[in-house]
Structure 1
Amino acid sequence: MASVDLTLEWSSEQEVKDITPEFAGKLEELLRLAGESEGVTAGEVALTFVDDEAIHELNKQYRNIDKPTDVLSFAMSEFGVDEIEINYEDGEEVEGADGDEDFAFIEPLGDIIISVPRAIAQAEEYGHSVERELGFLFVHGFLHLIGYDHQSEEEEKVMFAKQEEILQKAGLTR
């Protein structure tokens, strides 16, 4: 199997008591497992935890849906009118800001934004841990980044089966 070099950059605009060092490691593991499962061997995923107000605004702005949601994904490979296409060769070395010529450009796969209050409410509703719900939303967002969708019943079955398989491998069961 090819080496997996996926990177997770995350930030939080929301205080998340469930993001312990152990859970941060679990997110890295989920990214690795999802990448291995889908043959994605390199790239960077930006993950941000926000509140319902912030995700509501993003949902309204980018999807014309005037309500909060649990997770949003913005894939770098889906170029819209307002997005900039970046051309580079895989593994191309570029000069870093500090003049370091060994700086390697990592392909950004995209951004995943998760509403923490919504994840907490859904975990309670479904009767499982907040960690499991955040993991589910993260994997769901990752699969959207690489092209999966659930517009039809068949697409939904495929996507949700993949999510469950990855979560099971990571030990995040219901």
Structure 2
Amino acid sequence: MIYFENQSDLSVGGLQIEEILQSLSDREVEVYIVDDEVMAGLNLEHRGKEGITDVLSFPCEAVVPNLPLGSIVMSASLIAEKAREYKHSIEDEIALLFIHGVLHLLGFDHERDCGEHREREEELIREFDLPLSLIVRNA
């Protein structure tokens, strides 16, 4: 199950993130789309980096029954920018960021692994007939 909250002015239609999550986990995930100010604050607070980033993942680390897998926060402005740049829909960009974020919640880490994150992401992109993701297009 997904708790989805769009805290931005970005217009979002039908999403396939619930279907993607069901293929990966039976735990709940919270998804937030936020403006640049909120994203920049989170990026600085949690990563020590100035400015915005496209997606952040916050796993629930406590082992408590029925706790969500975690939260995924996405930048509304970067969703719109990347969708325009790569000529696909807002919804596809959200799905790509969701895949990237949920894999982080599941323990994948493209900055430290030996390509497992990228490989799993590519499998999901093909499975859900999505355009190239940020990890693949930045390879």
Is the 1:30–1:167 contact (alpha carbons within 8 Å) kept by the matching residues of 2?
A: no
TM alignment of 1:43-62, pairs within 5 A: 43-62=27-46
Is the 1:123–1:130 contact (alpha carbons within 8 Å) kept by the matching residues of 2?
A: yes
Instruction: Using the TM superposition, name which of 143-152 and 158-167 deviates more.
Output: 158-167
| Aligned amino acid, residue 95 of structure 2 | G
TM alignment of 1:1-174, pairs within 5 A: 7-17=1-11, 19-20=12-13, 22-23=14-15, 26-33=16-23, 35=24, 40=25, 42-77=26-61, 85=62, 87-88=64-65, 106-152=66-112, 155=114, 157-174=115-132
Local SS of the residue matching 2:8:
coil
Q: Deviation string for 1:78-128 (max 9, x for gaps)?
A: xxxxxxx4544xxxxxxxxxxxxxxxxx23110000001101111222333
Local SS of the residue matching 1:142:
helix
RMSD: 1.8
TM-score normalised by L of structure 1: 0.69
Identity of aligned residues (%): 33
Local SS of the residue matching 2:69:
strand
Q: Which has the larger radius of gyration?
A: 1
CA distance, structure 2, for counterparts of residue 173 and residue 32 of structure 1? 20
Aligned to 1:92: none
Gap runs ≥5 in structure 1: 1-6, 78-84, 89-105
CA distance, structure 2, for counterparts of residue 112 and residue 12 of structure 1? 12
Instruction: Work out the number of aligned pairs and report it.
Output: 132
| Aligned amino acid, residue 119 of structure 1 | I
Local SS of the residue matching 1:147:
coil
Is the 1:45–1:109 contact (alpha carbons within 8 Å) kept by the matching residues of 2?
A: yes
CA distance, structure 1, for counterparts of residue 27 and residue 107 of structure 2? 15
Larger RCO, structure (CA 8 Å, separation 6 or more): 1
